Each structure stands twice: as structure tokens, then as C-alpha cells.
Chain A
Amino acid sequence: MNATTDKTASTASQLSSGARLAGGAQQKLLAFASLIALVIGFSLASPNFFQVSNIMAILQATSVNGVLAVAATAVILTGGIDLSIGTLMTFCAVVAGVVLTWGGLPLPLGLLAAIGAGALVGLASGTFVARMKIPPFIATLGMMLVLKGLSLIITGAKPIYFNDTPGYTEISQGSLIGLVIPALPVPNGVLVLFLVALAMAFVLSRTVLGRYTYALGSNEEAVRLSGVNTNAWKMAVYALAGGICGIAGILISSRLNSAQPALGLGYELDAIAAVVIGGTSLAGGRGTVLGTLIGALIMSVLTNGLRILSVAPEWQTVVTGAIIILAVYADQLRRQRG
């Protein structure tokens, strides 16, 4: 008897998640089709494009922006925005450098410190937004500048190298998958992106935090009047996003084998662009992690493909900008018709 009810429950749950996926899939179809079209187009245009080594390079280039975009997705779904994610990433890298290189502490502590610092800063941003009612754009703009300054102050504007931490570069550059399947040398950075995205997709679609994230973006006042402590949940979302920025900080410093304090500004805009291309509404309440991943891939395929075709980097930026406008326009058209 019990077994039967459980079974019905799990079938129902599968059904419901199926329905949700189907609804989201429609929204992402366009972005996904564009991605495929870009890949086919570049493959036809240059024989160098569709090579395992180049595909791996594209994926590797996606990893940092992808992780940041996953963080941005959560905040944007609440109807907010986080402009500090780029410089927060750098700040977390600096924290890792301070703990590992200057402090000489073991590697796991450095990673924990980076992620923890990210979560704390996110919590602070969340407090400004939720409790002190500072508009997210302003609060995180301020935070962006504060963090940029702090990174420069702490390091004296000089990079911190990780030469004394053996294996640090492996975090991003090595390939655990390649060890098992030598034909598939997927860099660890890509694996990390995949895991972060998977975890965030789970949180957003299957947990209380995720459901409130969508609900906040859909109608915050209705959620508050339902007796939900909206401030606390919103702060949790910003903290979660901050922690993920910590992971991005580890990835980028591992790739560069150093924490570069001047880096970071501008990364937030690339991440937000990926989120928007992936079909997430800046008004909140609508969007998915899968869409964001596709958005991030479109951006790096474009950059990589144009470079292979020897298009000047200046033009790559122009094209990326045009794609963002087109993507959002297409989404508008679809919504007006629907």
C-alpha cells in the first residue's frame, strides 16, 4: 500500500518536472538553435573550428564566464541584479592567494576561504538590498567598486602567484576525465562549471530556496504577504551567488596561476549578457540555468569562431553586442505573439 502511494508520488513528480522542462525548453529553443547554427556555420567556414582541441578550448573559455553567469542567473531571477560578481571573483582569488601563498596554509583551506569570502560579500550585498532597501543596481555597483579597491589595496596592486601551491593550476587546467577516458580531455574547469550548473539547476527547480527565488521575481509583495520572510530568502540568494563567484575566482586564478587584482571589471557584464541571451527575464521570475549555459556557450563560440576566421577582436565585441540585442528582441517578439 505504502509502496504504491510512493510510486504514484514519484511518477507525479517526474511528470511535473517534465512539464516544467517542456515549458522552459520552448523558451530556450531559439537560443539552442542559434548555438547549433553558429557551430555548423563556423565548421563550414573553417576546417580548424570543429577539432577536439578547439572545442576543448571553447569549453575552457566558457568555464569562468559560465560559472559567473550561473551566479547571476539566481540573482536576476529574484528580479535583482548583481554588478559586483566580476570584482568579487577577483577579490575571492586574492583571498585564496593570501591564504595559500602568504599564509602557506593547505589547499582546501584556501578554497574554502575563497568560497566563504564570496558568500559573506554576497550576504552583505543581500543585506543592503533586502533589509536596507537599496536598489540592487546601486548596492552592487557600490560593492563592485569597494571590492575592486580592496583587491588592489590588499595586494599592493601586484599579482599573487601560486607557485608554492603545487597542483593549483590543475584545478582548472588538469583533466580528471582525461585520466579515465584519454580520448576526452575535458579540462577540470569545464567539469566544475558542469557541476555548479547542475547544483544550481537542482536548487532552482527542486528546493524551497529555488521556488522562492522564482516567486520573489514573480511577485515579491505577494510572497511577503503569504507570511514568508522574504528578506532572509533574498539574502540567501545573494549569498549563494557570492559563494559561486568564489568558485569562479578559484578557476580564473588557477588558469592564470595567479590572482590578478586589476582583473574582474567587465566580467559581470559578460555574465549578464549570457543570462539574457539564454532567455532569462531581467524583470525576474522567468529563466533557467540551462538557458544560461547555452547563452554562455553562444558567446564563447562566437568569440572563438570569429578569431579563427581572423576577424579583428574589436569586431568580435561589436558582434556580441548585436547578438544580445537580437536575442532579447526575438524573445520580445515571441512573447507578443504568445
Chain B
Amino acid sequence: MRDLVNMERIEKRFPGVHALKGVGFDLRAGEVHALMGENGAGKSTLMKILSGVYQPDSGRILVEGREVMFGSPRAAQDHGIGIIHQELALMKDLTVAQNIFIGREPRLSFGRIDEARQNREARELFAALNIDIDPRRPVDGLSIARQQMVEIAKALSARSKVLIMDEPTAALTDGEIGELFAMIEKLKSEGVGIVYISHKMDEIKRISDRVTVMRDGEYVGTVEAQDTPISRIIEMMVGRALSDEAVVVPDLTRAETALEVIDLNRGREIRTVSFSLRKGEILGFAGLMGAGRTEVARAIFGADPRESGDILVRGHKADIRSPADAVKAGIGYLSEDRKHFGLALGMNVADNIALASLPAFANGVGRLDDGRMHRVARDFIARLGIRTPSEHQEVRLLSGGNQQKVVIAKWLLRDCDILIFDEPTRGIDIGAKSEIYRLLADLAADGKAIIVISSELPEVLRVSHRIAVMCEGQLTGFLPGGADTTQEQIMQLATDRSGLRQATRQEETA
């Protein structure tokens, strides 16, 4: 196979960071080359250089053997290099075809756009990809998976020979992932080279030919995907072998009930969900994307309204209509999207830890005791092992794992003893994950009642004392935690639509 791209000794420095230290990377025609590494390893920077977003300080880039210099994303595109960013960048009010041809619209005289030709060419593209999307409909309302297809079509319409995909499956369901992989296979067979950035080991095994691992801005090595065990790849990523501790399920039969949810309902998203949670228990919530787990959590927390259902905290009915009510009842919610829903990124560590408890630091006229606030923050930094130069550091400068610890500190300070973690390790390095798992176990041992929502089955099995599984808004069953429960058992419940059909029938007869 011939080489499409060779990157040699690429150097890149940002103020205060040596992002890439003499990194090399190559891509052959018709292969899927996975690029792996923890957050901050330099994968994205390297790919932004390849796609012309950044310029390297030194080093060479060759495309099909010829040295090139990309001054802009447009220049890279002209050399057949397309990138599909993790956060999709489509204009939702424009049509699908308008999005595909943005910046390259076919023209008629007097600067008029040839919409007919645009739509026709878009339709041909989709036909070649075996996808059924109407080019004339607006992008708004398309599922994330479909939007991604549009992005891919857009890259291909620019006659890309190289396609860079940054975590393309992050928001896709299993079915959609299958569809995406079929498309990747098709592109491969046509000789397109694909750079695939992902954290999901099983996907890497499924579709990639070679794997290149980076760590701390350095090239670690390239291996054949099929012959290399996952444990070896992880070792390359973190620089050491990870011990995999199993969960220890404590005996909670005599523990008091912390939270009871009875017949929670909202439309199609939450259908008569009931469960209870004991002090010291970690209840895992498993299910596919869109099963309603986050919706249940947000409804309990008062972030979204509920149609009916009762929430009992320590045996007493809690009237929760807003997050403020939930917090007063001692419930804390840690969102999967820390940056948007958990942290004030521009503010410092101390302010973020105190965010839910500010009035407790104020005197009668609302004057804040900054000294006490900072002392408390330093206590939490030490207790949770938050790696930060000081409590004055802005949280946006911390790593994902340390940001998560700041959010945890916020709820611990607020004295919440029911904590709901939504995807607690999303965007967190493998090395830091086990630290978060240990923290969860410690919190439970301290008597906190914990709900962990996770889409990663190994994670659910790794932390849960008991596992609740949801499917399409319904709780389809509970499984015990511990080594005897398998991923297959969870998947069976997660795809169990029998209860649902029954419920629908009942609705129909009623």
C-alpha cells in the first residue's frame, strides 16, 4: 500500500506547553489508522496540524511523497485532507446541500448560486454512500449520527483522500455505530485513508488496521491492531500496567434507605420508574444512549420538570421543583457535561468549590469570608488529591479528572449525602479513572448514597454494588454487583422491550 501522508519530526510549542516533541505519523491509502493517547497527549494538536488549523514549528509533512505547507484549513482541503471534528460544525438553519457546499457553491452568472446543481450533486454523494438523506431539508432536526454523515459527505465532496475522524462515535447509538463502520469500510475499499481518534478499545479492535499511541506530546509506537492485546495498548498509553481491582460489595441489608423514587413519570422519556437507594450503596444505572437515565437523574434533581411521582429522602417526602430544592434535601448532581453544567470555567478552584455553599461563607450583610473559603478549598485539594498549583488557579486550566474532583468537592462541601454521578469519567484519562473509582468507593464507605450513570459497561461493573438497567424510559431490571454479573446480562435488560410493549398494550386497552 502506498503512503498517503508522512509527518516527520513535527514540533509544536504553545506558550508554556511543549505540545509535540518530534512526532512522526504516516497513513496509507485504504487503511484505518487509529491514533490513541490520553487527553493532552497531543493527538488533536497533531491532527490540527495535518488539517492546516495549526502550523508546525518545525518538521515536514509529505502528501503522496511531495512536501507541503498548509497555511490554512483550506490549503489542507485542497490537498485532499478533510477533518470531521468531534463537535459537529454544521449550520442548522441551512439545508443539507447548502452545508455540504458551503464556501464552494456552484455559481451561475451574477453571483447567483446554482441550487439545483448543488442538490443534485449532494444526492449523488449520498447515493454513493448508500445513505438516504434529502439534500433539501434543513440540518436542524437531523440526528447526531445523520449530521455526522452530512459532515462526511461534505469532506468527500471536496475529494478528500484523507479523512480525520475525532471521536466520531461519542454520541452514537450501537445501531448508528454499525452504520458508520459500514461506511468506513466502503471508503477504505475506495482507497481513502482514515485517521481514527477514539478512546474506545473495542472499536479500535473492530475497525482499525494499525494503532499509533502518543503520550505527553511524544510518539510512543505503532502496532498492528489485530495482533496487539488491549492491555498492551493501554500500557503504551499510560506508561505503566494498570491493575484492575474488582468491586467489593458491602453488606447493606441493615443500612437505612437514603432515597426512594416512586412511580416517576414524564412522557415517553420516563415511564413509571421506581427504585430505592441505601446509605453507603453505589447503584449503577446502565442502558443504551437515550434509555432515559440522565432524564431520570435530572428529574430527581429538579433540573427538569416531572409529570408525576414521589421522591422520598430518608423516608420523608421531598417537594423538589428546582435544583435549589434538591440541594436543600441533600441531593447533588454531577453532570456528564462538566464544562457546561458543572463548572464556572473562568473562575478559580476555591470559587467553584464554594459555588453551592456561598451563603455559608457570608456574614449577615452578605460579605464573604474569602480567607475561610480558601482554607476550606485547600482542605479539599489535599483530601481529594486535586492537582492544581493552588486554589487560585482557574478551573479551565485543570485536567478533566481534576475538574471532576472540583465538582465532587463542591457537593461534599454542601453536605450532600445523595450524589448522582452522570458519566463520571467521561473525558477523563484512563490513569485518572481508577482514582475516581477509588474516590467513589471511599465516599460510599463514608455513608454517602451514590448513583452512577455510565454508558461503559466495564465501568458499571467496576463500581456498582447493584445495577439498575433501563430501556426506552423504563427500568427493565436490577442485577447484583460483583464479579458474577456479566456484560451480556446487562445488555439483555438494556434491550428488553417486552415490558414496554406490555405497557403500550395496556395504554391501548385502557
A9 and B375 contact, Cβ closer than 8 Å, known pairs A224-B323, A228-B324: yes
Contact of B366 among A208, A222, A228 (CB under 8 A): A208
Number of interface residues of A (CB under 8 A): 33
Contact of A9 among B322, B332, B372 (CB under 8 A): B372
Q: Is the CB of B344 within 8 A of A215?
A: yes
B392 (CB) vs chain A CBs: closest residue? A19
B317 to chain A, nearest CB (A): 19
Q: Is the CB of B368 within 8 A of A226?
A: no
Q: Is A225 an interface residue (CB 8 A)?
A: yes
B340 (CB) vs chain A CBs: closest residue? A221
A23 (CB) vs chain B CBs: closest residue? B392
Q: Is the CB of B370 within 8 A of A223?
A: no
B contact residues around A206 at 8 Å (CB): 367-368, 370
A contact residues around B375 at 8 Å (CB): 9, 12
Q: How far apart sit A226 and B344, CA to CA, in the bound complex (Å)?
A: 11
Contact with A along B330-374 (1 / 0, CB 8 A): 001101000011111111001100111011011001111111101
B372 (CB) vs chain A CBs: closest residue? A9
Q: Is the CB of A219 within 8 A of B371?
A: no
A contact residues around B12 at 8 Å (CB): none
Contact with B along A207-244 (1 / 0, CB 8 A): 11111101100110111111111000000000000000
Classify chain B: how many residues form its interface, as a range. 35 or more
Q: At the interface, is chain A mostly helix, strand, loop or mixed? A: helix
Contact of A225 among B333, B365, B368 (CB under 8 A): B333
A338 to chain B, nearest CB (A): 8
Q: How far apart sit A228 and B260, CA to CA, in the bound complex (Å)?
A: 24
A8 (CB) vs chain B CBs: closest residue? B371
Q: Is B303 an interface residue (CB 8 A)?
A: yes
Q: Is the CB of B368 within 8 A of A219?
A: no
Contact of A228 among B340, B343, B356, B374 (CB under 8 A): B356
A214 and B322 contact, Cβ closer than 8 Å, known pairs A12-B370, A222-B355, A227-B328: no
Q: How far apart sit A111 and B237, CA to CA, in the bound complex (Å)?
A: 68
Q: Is the CB of B368 within 8 A of A211?
A: yes
Q: Is B83 an interface residue (CB 8 A)?
A: no
B350 (CB) vs chain A CBs: closest residue? A16
Q: Is A285 an interface residue (CB 8 A)?
A: yes
A11 (CB) vs chain B CBs: closest residue? B371
A212 and B358 contact, Cβ closer than 8 Å, known pairs A221-B341, A225-B333, A227-B326: yes
Q: Is B414 an interface residue (CB 8 A)?
A: yes
Contact with A along B259-270 (1 / 0, CB 8 A): 000000000000
B contact residues around A214 at 8 Å (CB): 344, 347, 351
Q: Is the CB of B335 within 8 A of A225?
A: yes
Contact of A222 among B327, B342, B392 (CB under 8 A): B342
Can you list 15 A-B pairs with a CB-CB distance of less than 8 A?
A: A16-B370, A207-B362, A207-B365, A207-B368, A208-B368, A210-B368, A214-B351, A215-B344, A215-B351, A219-B343, A219-B344, A222-B342, A222-B344, A223-B344, A226-B327
A residues adjacent to B (C-beta < 8 A): 8-13, 16-17, 19, 206-212, 214-215, 218-219, 221-229, 285-286, 337-338
Given A8-B371, A9-B375, A225-B342, 10 additional A-B pairs, CB 8 A: A11-B371, A12-B370, A12-B375, A211-B358, A218-B346, A218-B347, A222-B355, A227-B328, A227-B356, A227-B414
